[in-house]
Amino acid sequence: MRMPSFAAAGIAVVCLASGLSGCSVFSSEEPADLQVYTGRHYGSEQVFEEFTESTGVTIEMLEGDDAEMLERLKTEGDDSPADVYMTVGAGPLWSAADQGLLAPVASPTLDKAVPGRYRDSEGRWFGLVRRARTVVYNPDAVDPSEFDARDTYAGLTDRKWKGRLCMRDLSGAYTTSLVASLIDLHGYDRTLAMVQGWMANDVEIMGNDVLLLEAVDAGTCEVAITNHYYLAREKAEHPDFNVELHWASQKGAGVHENVSGAGVVSTSDNKDDARKLLEWLATDGQDDMLEGNHEFPANPEVPADEEAAAFGDFKPMDVDARAYAELNADAVRLLAEAGYQ
């Protein structure tokens, strides 16, 4: 059953039901052509407005977090009005596809624009933009040669880092996705020892990446693990911001990477326009996806913006959406066992 939509002065307003947050507005006097369920909140309204201007296809957007939107799709079943499911991370996309909620899309445009490492092998979802979670440091206190080049994340267990670390809490999926990828790479026991090693170094846990960066800039701590684009934002706004980025594990498995992406909902009655939206987001719309947020494009033909490009090239860890989804519960359990809060 379609969610309520109200037209006033040419604006369609779509609000989420109780328990979910947010309303979104789009210029339209008629019911929208596409319903997008999205956990992504980085300038999505502007991106979809640009798509509508480019194609004439109108969009209504329902916002929640990835898990809320996935649960909504499952609950609505065949009655869901959703045409596209968009997420912040790859794990929920894998889960949606695994549960039959996303339809295979045959698109030479998407196959060309999105490398195989960033999309489902059966065409049920496609990564659109990338983020890297790596080490940042205060250059007045840390020489980057101090970092373990083979396994930088594990290297932070070294006692030389005692009292020098701060890390993100468990809000959001950033920490659990990183730990899930480490479990996939190293196994549960070795990853548990790693996280216990961080804790033994008196790591200070903070509520978000911005607080981490501000703490490193102020010298409250000297090293943190954050998403690259948070630092790019700070550098863009404050050129004298005293924090530098170090690409982790470049002589080993590489930097932990995740993708924000989308898929066509299997029960959609407008799969053609839904496919067109994905194709546009992966090609002409890449700059709009990146604008102001400094993520990396999934499309290798699209350059990163100036702030992200300034960090230089890096070797990424393989994106394993299955592991991010299936090992998420193990990651949560491991973090609790290690006393990480």
Whole-number pLDDT of residue 29 = 59
Is 258 a residue whose pLDDT tops 50?
Answer: yes
Are 195 and 249 in a shared domain? yes
What does the DSSP assignment read for 139-181? TTT--GGGS-SS-HHHHTTSGGGTT-EEEE-SSSSHHHHHHHH
Are 76 and 125 in a shared domain? yes
Are 19 and 104 in a shared domain? yes
User: Of the given ranges (33-47, 115-129, 264-278), which has the lowest mean pLDDT?
Assistant: 33-47
Is 245 a residue whose pLDDT tops 80?
Answer: yes
Are 102 and 170 in a shared domain? no
Whole-number pLDDT of residue 241 = 98
Are 168 and 111 in a shared domain? no
Work out the pLDDT band at 95, boundaries 50, 70, 90.
very high
Total structural domains in the chain? 2
Are 155 and 102 in a shared domain? no
pTM for the structure as a whole: 0.89
The two tokens of residue 183 are 């479990």
Domain that holds residue 213: 131-256+312-337
Of 34, 15, 324, nearest to 179 by C-alpha is 324
Rounded mean pLDDT, 93-105: 98
Are 234 and 327 in a shared domain? yes
Is 27 a residue whose pLDDT tops 60?
Answer: no
Are 248 and 266 in a shared domain? no
Rounded mean pLDDT, 194-223: 97
Backbone φ, ψ for residue 257 (5° rounding): -135, 145
Neighbour tally for 150: CB within 10 Å: 12
Quick: pLDDT tens for 289-300: 998 899 999 999
**CATH of residue 83:** 3.40.190.10
Are 297 and 153 in a shared domain? no
* Mean pLDDT over each residue of the chain, to the nearest integer: 91
